[in-house]
Structure 1
Amino acid sequence: MQKLLFISFFFILPFTVFTQDHYWWANNVGWDGQRFWGDYIIRTPRFLGPNALPIPRLGNGRVPNERSFALSGNSHSTPGDATQNLALYGTYNLVPDVISFELYWVPIEYFTLSHVIKTERKTFHVFYNEHLASGDIYLHTLIQILKAETHPLDLALRIGYRFPSSTMLGMARYTDSPGYYLDLSFGKKLIDGNLDLSIQGMGGIFVWQINQNRQNQNDAPLFGLGLNVEGKNWALSPAFRGYSGYLNNGDRPMALSLSGQVEVNPRWQLFGTVQTGFGDLLYDSFELGSKFRFAYPLLR
């Protein structure tokens, strides 16, 4: 009996381990024998990694008057996909209360996917056993429109652009294609005292390239609403945000999040976020990071 089991294992093993080849992929996507493999990747949040098409962060209507660098560790999970990554942030205030620039990048991402997820996302067989990727670079320009000191609320314009610099399109981790978003964010203080309470929100448009045969891009209204509770050296910000693509093919992610920050000193801040996704955002996420502010003379 043991000999029979050993023989069976010997013959079955190659088919269970090495079947993710070109024939597996072609059968999985219904390949027509001509189309490029990347055309079968569904470039929407539901069928990509958690950092591919993230919902932009909620603005508060103010241009950040700082020059800073931040580093965070992130964890994302959904059944069949466990992802961890580092994230880098940079802020450069060019003119106080007028214009700032922000940079965001995921330099390294480690992921573990189940066979079911790889099949659902139509991953290309050449990349089947990969576990590392890097993300696209985002550059934001923020321009102050109104200030609460002289108007009813704070209002700022954000122009965001995604540079196609990512890897692992074949594992459906990123799109490796350009995109942009335009939005107005506002902030309005409701309570001014020992604890400050503000309402904040955003509205705009989110656009990204999908490189499909019948259309080249997806357009989505972008929205968000939240609160900010601020003490002397800390702040908490619950928020709801999302966008809604017009193709309705997994392009309507939404999220509820709670962000917090603690000022260790004027130059050093700790921050973190917990987030749960719904709609076409399948991941629950956690972020913990540290921000360092630079004195202006160092960067002039």
Structure 2
Amino acid sequence: MKLKLVGLIILINTYHTYSQQTDYQWWNDLHGWDGISPFEKYLYLESGRMGPNALPVPEPLYCLWDSLNGFYNLLQYYYTKGERTYSIKNSFYYKADRKVALRALMVSAEYFNTNADIRDFRAARTYEGRGWAVGDIYVETHWQIVQFDKKLPDIAFRVGLKTASGSRVEDARYTDTPGYYFDVNFRKIFSAKTFTYQIYSMLGFYAYQTYKTDHKQNDAVLYGLGGRIKNVKWGADLHMRGYVGYFGRYDKPLIGSTEIFYVLGKNILLFRIEKGNTSWPFTSFQLGYSYRFY
């Protein structure tokens, strides 16, 4: 009886393993699976070979904390040849005291549709190349170092943590690995009769864990530069941001962003267009709504 039970268990396990190999046989043949290694080792954890929200470039800081406190929501559409992505991004910003602020953000829902070329370029495993995903949670702490000094620019220091909470790593949507970044942000304000002008910049370090045995972490220099103009109701923002890793041509994203926004009391409406290089080959159109509290 025991021998029959052991035989049945072996038969079930053999069938299960064979079924899995059959389901992914197209992937095994295409990417030369060795029959032993986990599929993650065949993925390319680089911004140019994953979905648009997998390894995002942190945005430079530009505003006074008093005007940032609130809830922020973005409807995002990403386009590149062979792929369409629709996502919802949510964030919460809170000034804990005069010197410290906290921020949490994530992509709460994402729908993607890729063709076979993009699917195979990223070594994704869903044959249809489409589906739903949930993004990573990011947590940031901001420290205000200098503010309202007549000679020096405003200076803020940020530390961010990328959690491994995103789904669909098998489709190269998120990495399922932790990461972190820290940067120093500078801002200078120039006021006129009607408008307020800002010039701001960012310089820091960005790193995330990979599945490579020879390079278990990708280290990158993080940077950004931008300008902002606003009056009581309307405003516009133009900036560029990016980071430079050392893996190759697909881990050096550079993104240009143009935004217009309208302020109505505690509410903000915005429209944003973003365009990236080879390491982030997407064009993005975004609609945002924010509610600020004091």
TM over 0.5: yes
Q: Within the alignment, does 1:109 sit opposite 2:110 as a pair?
A: yes
Aligned match of 2:71: 69
Q: Is contact 2:139-2:162 (8 Å) kept?
A: yes
Per the alignment, in what secondary structure is the counterpart of residue 95 of structure 1? coil
**Residue-by-residue CA offset, 1:250-278 (whole Å, 9 max, x unaligned):** 1000011112221111x211122111111
> How far did 1:128 drift?
4.3
1:140-159 residue pairs with structure 2 within 5 A? 140-159=140-159
SS of the equivalent of 2:143 reads strand
| Count of residue pairs brought into register by the alignment | 273
8 Å contact 2:140–2:159 — kept in the other structure? Answer: yes
Map of 2:281 onto structure 1? 282
Counterpart AA for 1:109: E
Query: 1:233 deviation in Å?
Result: 1.6
Q: 2:124 aligned with 1:123, yes or no?
A: yes
Over 3 Å counting, the alpha-carbon distance change for 1:129 and 1:279 in structure 2 is closer
**Aligned equivalent of 1:268:** 267
How far off is 1:235 after superposition? 1.7
The corresponding residue for 1:234 is 234
Equivalent position SS for 2:96: strand
1: CA distance between counterparts of 2:110 and 2:221?
A: 28
Matched, 1:215 2:206: no
Superposed, 1:185-204 pairs within 5 Å as: 185-204=185-204
SS in 2 for 1:118: helix
Residue number in structure 2 paired with 1:53: 55
1:193 is displaced (CA, Å) by 3.0
Q: Take 2:243 and 2:114, find their aligned partners in 1: how far apart are those partners?
A: 26
- The gaps in structure 1 that reach 5 residues or longer are 1-19, 296-300
Matches within 5 A, 1:16-31: 21-31=23-33
* Superposed displacement of residue 119, structure 1: 0.9
Q: Which letter maps to 1:162? A: K
SS in 2 for 1:123: coil
Q: CA RMSD in A?
A: 1.7
Please say if 1:37 is aligned against 2:39. Answer: yes
Distance 1:83 1:292 in 2: 25
Q: Counterparts of 2:231 and 2:275 in 1: how far apart (Å)? A: 25
- Following TM superposition, by how much is the alpha carbon of 1:220 offset from its aligned partner in structure 2, in angstroms? 0.4
Secondary structure of 2:77's counterpart equals strand
Q: TM-score, normalised by structure 1?
A: 0.86
SS at match of 1:38: helix
* Whole-Å separation in 1 of the counterparts to 2:118 and 2:66: 39
Looking at structure 2, the residues matched to 128 and 217 of structure 1 have their Cα atoms a distance apart, in angstroms, of 31
Q: Is the CA contact (8 Å cut-off) linking 2:71 and 2:91 kept in structure 1?
A: yes
SS in 1 for 2:40: helix
Report the Cα offset of residue 71 of structure 1.
1.7
Residues 57-66 or 271-280, more deviating? 57-66
Contact kept? 1:64, 1:100, Cα under 8 Å: no
What whole-Å deviation, never above 9, does each CA across 1:178-214 have from its counterpart, x for those lacking one? 1111001111124433112221110001101112121
2:12 is aligned to none
Q: For residue 11 of structure 1, what is the aligned residue in structure 2?
A: none
Amino acid at match of 2:113: T
Q: Is the 8 A contact 1:241 1:254 kept in 2?
A: yes
Q: Deviation at 1:63?
A: 3.7
Match for residue 252 of structure 2?
252
Decide whether the 8 Å contact of 1:263 with 1:269 is kept in 2: yes
Q: Residue 29 of structure 2: SS of its match in structure 1?
A: helix
Q: For the Cα contact (< 8 Å) 1:128–1:171, is it kept in 2? A: no
Question: Could you say which residue in structure 2 is the equivalent of 1:161?
Answer: 161
Aligned to 2:179: 179
3-state DSSP of counterpart to 1:31: coil
Alignment-mate amino acid for residue 194 of structure 2? N
| Large movers: runs of 4+ above 4 Å | 127-130
Secondary structure of the 1:131 match is strand
Residues 1:216 and 1:25: Cα distance change in structure 2 (over 3 Å): same
Structure 1, 133-142 or 145-154: larger mean CA deviation: 145-154
Task: Report Cα offsets for 1:132-186 as digits up to 9, x if no partner.
Answer: 0000001111110111335421000011111111000001111011111100111
Tell me which amino acid in the other structure corresponds to 2:92: G
Q: How far did residue 66 of structure 1 move?
A: 4.7
Distance 1:282 1:272, change over 3 A: same
Report the equivalent of 1:94.
96
